[in-house]
Structure 1
């Protein structure tokens, strides 16, 4: 440390990780394994895959269909639950990229061991087995609904010194991240749960136990007209009840009285109607729109 700052060894110097024997610190362009993994990743839509994987991980942790929760930053979400998003994300990423789960690190890419790390804070906990190994490090900013990732060789010389935590994990120095890693993609937006757009008063009405589901779904689509509503949101509002999707389908006539047309992405003709309004619906998405004419019959 110098003046309160960590002084790092530079590429070309000897790494302090004697467990692996003497080896040089290398910058990304001189690291053949890093370049091989990077080449493999760049053939894929990594930002898109990570966006979906993070959204799935957040939904898994919130478990809205049972708990009615929809905001990971809510006080009723324990900090430990927020931190567990990273653990779930590892498996989502492996599944999305078609990668095997291996040991001692998380996977292998082009026969190179790679660890997958994510944080909802400002740094990653690099375990002892990943020191001097390749890591994909993802930073998730929940407050700004965005994420970014790097590929980095987590040399021990570039980790904060000391014993680390009880598992021997250490954080990656910001200078190493900024100068000796490769960005896989820059800040990328995460899907925003439409329920977070409700006012506190609106949310209390939509998520109340009474009145029944159909009245609350009607209020939700009225409040959020024009916003795409994923199936997970339907499940959250109908938490603890049987078949909330059927209840949502039943409110078309009620919404029509308010001049709203309810479209469901399950039906191609309704996806086309939404597309004409510059709205993309997935197979399990819904949207209430103000538009002329009635949608084709959807059953």
Structure 2
């Protein structure tokens, strides 16, 4: 029998867990804890908060402001670093939803213990303390730039037998995830780092040690005209250099010679100009645009 096709016990049958004792397997609709957590989550844009939390976790792992790295799939990113995105995500999720870190699992939602798990692969390592407990399981496909999450009670009967490691962690059976979990949101796109849109030659110029920051920022905004440039990209291009944000601001006059206007979301009037071009700027976002005649800003 393949690993992904276990002969699973179904809701209504008895789950034998030496830690929690024998208990009845519950379908999500009959599990009051599942319903309580789902009711609590309905007040949030779960997909949006998870998208930002994952993006922040990736930025944290890449540490672009020190390393100049911007692509988690690049060959200079160790597999262990990719895997650590999931560990960082736990804390980003707690912060995003205003949840406290508690024991024995990661947090409590609606007074229900919940473990927060994520994988950049195809399965999760469910620790022994989370067996038969509620877990939010997130799958991140870095190469395809997307993610999705489920809420599931990780019954021991629904975990792979004989696949546990020394810590007692076991994977969740695919059929259990498909049949007896509650999807929190479907596949959702992750933000694209605009530096990944550059050609190899363009990236080489923008991320080179020479010339100075202002010349390289100018090249970047010209190459990426109309693309939102978040603060993390500015600090990545200026990795290891002094005050890259000020250097970026200094290139406005140089871009103007090419007919480009540099807008920063810090200023309301510049947000409105970007919005007129159907671009939403966050408070730390930048974009280089060709404004129509008569459009100005005070930046």
What's the TM-score bracket when you normalise by the shorter of the two chains?
Answer: over 0.9
Aligned to 1:295: 296
Query: How far apart, CA to CA, are the structure 1 residues paired with 2:16 and 2:123?
Result: 21
3-state SS of 1:225 partner: coil
Aligned to 1:257: 257
Deviation at 1:76, TM superposition (A): 0.7
- TM-score if structure 2 supplies the norm length? 0.97
Pairs aligned (count): 298
Aligned to 2:266: 266
Question: Does 1:182 find its partner at 2:166?
Answer: no
Aligned to 2:75: 75
Inter-CA distance 289–4: structure 2 relative to 1 (3 Å threshold): closer
Query: How far apart, CA to CA, are the structure 2 residues paired with 1:163 and 1:195?
Result: 40
3-state SS of 2:37 partner: helix
3-state SS of 2:14 partner: coil
1:113-159 Cα shifts (integer Å, max 9, x gaps):
00000011110000000000000000111111111100000001101
Inter-CA distance 274–158: structure 2 relative to 1 (3 Å threshold): same
Aligned to 1:198: 198
Query: How far apart, CA to CA, are the structure 1 residues paired with 2:268 and 2:240?
Result: 30
3-state SS of 1:50 partner: helix
3-state SS of 1:20 partner: coil
Inter-CA distance 270–129: structure 2 relative to 1 (3 Å threshold): same
1:62-81 Cα shifts (integer Å, max 9, x gaps):
11000000001111111111
Deviation at 1:4, TM superposition (A): 8.3
Query: How far apart, CA to CA, are the structure 1 residues paired with 2:270 and 2:5?
Result: 58
Aligned to 2:89: 89
Q: Cα RMSD (Å) of the superposition?
A: 1.3
- TM-score if structure 1 supplies the norm length? 0.97
Structure 1 consecutive aligned stretches of length 4 or more whose deviation exceeds 6 Å: none
Structure 1: tracts of 5 or more residues without a match:
none
3-state SS of 1:40 partner: helix
3-state SS of 2:69 partner: coil
Aligned to 1:232: 232
Deviation at 1:44, TM superposition (A): 1.2
Q: Is the 8 A contact 1:263 1:295 kept in 2?
A: no
Query: How far apart, CA to CA, are the structure 2 residues paired with 1:89 and 1:109?
Result: 17
Deviation at 1:3, TM superposition (A): 9.9
Tell me whether 89-98 or 14-23 shows the greater mean CA deviation: 14-23
Structure 2: tracts of 5 or more residues without a match:
none
Query: How far apart, CA to CA, are the structure 1 residues paired with 2:213 and 2:2?
Result: 61
Query: How far apart, CA to CA, are the structure 2 residues paired with 1:56 and 1:295?
Result: 33
Deviation at 1:267, TM superposition (A): 1.0
3-state SS of 2:137 partner: strand
Q: Is the 8 A contact 2:3 2:160 kept in 1?
A: no
Aligned to 1:36: 36
